[in-house]
Amino acid sequence: MKRIAIQGFMGSFHDIAAHLYFEGEQIQLICCSTFEQVFDNLRKDPTSIGMVAIENTIAGSLLHNYELLQNSGTTIVGEHKLHISHCICCLPEDDWDTIAEVHSHPVALMQCRKFLEQHPQMKNVEAEDTAGSAKMIAEGRKRGWAAICHAEAAKMYGLKVLENHIEDNKHNFTRFLVVSNPNKADLLRSLTETNKSSIVFSLPHEEGSLSHVLAILSFYKMNMTKIQSLPIIGREWEYKFYVDVMYNDLTRYRQSIDAIIPLTKDFRVLGEYKDGRQTN
């Protein structure tokens, strides 16, 4: 049985992503309040695995999670891209005319902004988690409160779905990373099947330093799918660059890495893994 640390409660999108990624396997969820707690759990229990959101097609990158990932010393072993669909739900005895407040994670509230504008009588209340909001309403018997979460979470906590698929953009996906202790990584992936890599590095404060790195990746036919820069605390106007590349030839990928290392500082491969499938 695999022990999976997630941010959020049962029924959260992290829960759904974990079950889809490890479909058909027995897993035990370790529910954490914060992403910091997820990585703390991986440090305390090297046999556990983490499932961590890293970017959303609407809200963008979760920048803090990049820092947590790098500082944790863990390795990326996989990814999953999950379609994000929201519903609004409440206690069975409530209905549209009795709802005064709607609770959810701030990103979920933002993703349903147009829907909420159509219901100005409902006060928007930010919470730590989508499924956690449903759990709070169900266990506390909170009359007049509604939650925005996945419909599976509403079902799990015995709430009534007033309306499903209320998200503004129907092409809303979140990318989750599967991370583990480096010593466990090869048990969770096959390097011969990898076609994607996440790397991080900083650069000398010299003209053209980034373009030289990108030119080498292009020469070796690496498909750069993402580049994210973050400032380095304490080093003014210097940045870390987080780059995702995809490749068809493992040897050429290795050659490209060998070629760019001398041009960079603090270089690290965060993980080599298989491009994740996308699920609705």
Q: Output the six-digit token pair for 270.
A: 């965060």
User: CB–CB of 41/49 below 8 Å?
Assistant: no
Smallest Cα–Cα separation from 62: which of 105, 113, 15, 112?
Answer: 105
DSSP for residue 158: T
Helices (H), the chain: 13-21, 35-44, 63-72, 106-111, 113-117, 130-140, 151-156, 185-188, 209-219, 250-260
Q: Quick check: is 174 catalytic?
A: yes
d(CA 90, CA 208): 56
- Among 74, 174, 194, 264, which one carries the catalytic annotation? 174
**Strand, helix or coil for residue 193:** helix
User: CB–CB of 111/84 below 8 Å?
Assistant: yes
User: Which residues, 6 or more positions from 177, have their beta carbon under 8 angstroms from its beta carbon?
Assistant: 50, 51, 52, 53, 54, 69, 76, 78, 79, 271
d(CA 2, CA 145): 36
The amino acid at 114: K
- Among 22, 35, 176, 201, which one carries the catalytic annotation? 176
Report the catalytic residues. Answer: 174, 176
